[in-house]
Structure 1
Amino acid sequence: MTIKKVSIIGLGALGVLFGNHLAKKMQKKDLRIIADKDRIKRYEADNVYCNGEPCHFHYVTPEEVCEPADLLIFAVKFNGLEDAIQVVKHHVGENTIILSLLNGISSEAIISEAYGMDKVLYSVAQGMDAVKVGNQLTYDHMGMICFGEREPGYVSEKVKRLTKFFEKMEVPYEVDTNMVRRQWGKFMLNVGVNQTVAVYRSDYGEVQRDGPARDMMISAMSEVMALSEKEGARLTEEDLQYWLKVMGTLSPEGKPSMAQDVEARRSSEVDLFAGTVVRLGEKHGVPTPINRELYRRVQLLESQYK
């Protein structure tokens, strides 16, 4: 079964980045951006831009009855996931493949509660340095989507279908047969880089060079590594070095999503990052002082918005 119709919920950095890429290679009505009427009016009035070029998207409302998607991509923030799950129901059919590009280690399980684990592939978006300000997205590195089944060592028909589609669409990808470890690795990086750059009010360059910010980032990541052993993901020093190398390839002037949220005075995903680490630390009796401090400092920044 070939993937022909794709639906995307969420036009943050990743939704715009991959949506724009696919829009250039697909029939316009085969790529559907799901949004409510007010958002659609705003998108159509102001347009959405990717590296200075207008994106030509086909928008549909949640109420619009349509043919189910062959591929449904969640690209919302974590705090918007529950609402997104409800509004995509017309896009989920018997053979729909669901891909979540959300940060963290729990979105797939949450989505599968609504639509079944048989439809969900585990995935990680990594290596992109996209920055979104208002309706303008800019990036130097597109990165890639890593995906696979939750079960280690298993390459399913869903994985093969998505592989063929990404190859045809020229979407950079990697099939990983140990996605739990991959997700924990990306989570480890997010916990370190997103929060540290946010509290230092800086950019990737701040943590790419030696100094207190990089030390804090690595210490926060080390706390995740300690917890991964307790949770069965078993990250090692080798994983830490791999993700530091990934971060080292990003544009020094780029910024992670949390830093962009703080600059725009939006609520961040600190509870998804440091909050999760602190809760797991309490569960397993593992000290997490760096993430406790990052949590405190991000909350302090957010408290100053008003």
Structure 2
Amino acid sequence: MKYAIIGAGGTGGTLGFYLTKAGKDVTLIARGKHLEAIQKNGLTMERLWDKNTETLSVKASSEEEYQETPDVVLLCVKGYSVESTIPLIKKIAGKDTVVIPILNIYGTGGKLQKQLPELTVTDGCIYVSANIKEPGVLLQHGSILRVVFGTRTPEEETEKMHEIAADMKSDDITVILSDDIKRDAMTKFSYVSPAGTAGLYCNAVAGDFQKEGESREVFKELIREIVALSHGMGIEFQEDLVERNMKILSDLPPETTTSMQRDVLAHHQSEMDGLVYEVVRLGRKYGVSLPTYEKAAKYFREHVEQ
């Protein structure tokens, strides 16, 4: 299969690196100095947990130069950039192309499907912790790399989606075709939203959440509020999400931060609207009390520049 990955940062770049390593036909669609460095020197992956570094020759293209028609478009941009990718997706997608948004923001696939009615757009999420260290170089904080995607209703699922899931799997990538993507995407959201919110609100890194203290308790309470919101939305879980997310956190290097924290601290545009304010809006819509999110949102509006 032919893959186009829109976005070559911690999510898209990491997927492109390991899909290329597995011998797949992958093109990263990137821009600026990061694109130039990948085209000139390859893509380098530095692994924080074992201190290993590896460089691969990875195909990379600008939006303007990319002329292929991929079987799969993996959308790996920040939530605030989704709208700007729609013209590109319309240009490169064929009638059988499957678009898989892999973002931090819950519900992106459904919103995107309305704007791309002629294409198949799934929902999806990814478990990965990585960021651009410098142009052409990615820093991967932990070894977990798991992609979950699926259709919002069972009748939308096709045989091609099973083929994609099987094709993407490798020694480095776990791929799951979900039978309940709303539940599975919200399960991921129950980690990434509380982690980003608590990290910024408490000025904390993973190590602060790994030990007893106020930061850890704020993180846990935010997870509980996401669970309460999910119940209000009719989404039920098969496991204790506090326990699950604390296990994920325990496997990260202590210095790990979230992309929202890094963006805010660098005075870049961040996903705060989708990760924090949207949660508050949903709580009000479904009549679910979210006091910790409300408190964090109020603090961010008053003290954090956007």
**TM-score, with structure 2 as normaliser:** 0.86
CA deviation vs aligned residue, 1:69-110 (integer Å, no higher than 9, x gap): 011100100001000122232321111121111012121012
How far apart in 1 are the matches of 2:123 and 2:79? 15
Change (3 A) 1:49 1:168: closer
CA deviation vs aligned residue, 1:224-273 (integer Å, no higher than 9, x gap): 21111221213476233223322332222222211221332222211111
Match of 1:72 in 2: 73
Match of 1:9 in 2: 6
Change (3 A) 1:141 1:297: farther
Change (3 A) 1:254 1:37: closer
Give how far 1:53 is off. 3.7
Match of 1:35 in 2: 30
Give how far 1:292 is off. 1.9
**Runs of 5+ unmatched residues, structure 2:** 47-52
2:15 corresponds to 1:22: no
The 3-state SS of whatever aligns with 2:235 is coil
Give how far 1:66 is off. 2.5
Is residue 110–residue 123 contact of structure 2 (8 Å, CA) maintained in 1?
A: no
The alignment yields a C-alpha RMSD, in angstroms, of 2.7
Change (3 A) 1:48 1:243: same
Match of 1:81 in 2: 82
Listed as ranges, the matches of 1:1-306 within 5 Å are 3=1, 5-26=2-23, 30-36=25-31, 40-41=35-36, 44=39, 48-51=43-46, 52-64=53-65, 66-116=67-117, 119-126=120-127, 128-135=128-135, 136-139=137-140, 140-151=142-153, 156-167=158-169, 171-235=173-237, 238-300=240-302, 302-303=304-305
Change (3 A) 1:131 1:255: farther
How far apart in 2 are the matches of 1:249 and 1:145? 18
**Aligned residue type for 1:263:** L
How far apart in 2 are the matches of 1:65 and 1:190? 32
The 3-state SS of whatever aligns with 2:82 is helix
Give how far 1:47 is off. 6.3
Change (3 A) 1:53 1:277: same
Change (3 A) 1:176 1:240: farther
How far apart in 2 are the matches of 1:111 and 1:155? 17
How far apart in 1 are the matches of 2:250 and 2:154? 28
How far apart in 2 are the matches of 1:236 and 1:301? 37
Moved over 6 A (4+): none
Give how far 1:129 is off. 2.7
How far apart in 2 are the matches of 1:133 and 1:36? 15
The aligned length equals: 298
The 3-state SS of whatever aligns with 1:228 is helix
Report the identity percentage: 23
How far apart in 1 are the matches of 2:178 and 2:187? 12
How far apart in 2 are the matches of 1:218 and 1:133? 29
**TM-score, with structure 1 as normaliser:** 0.86
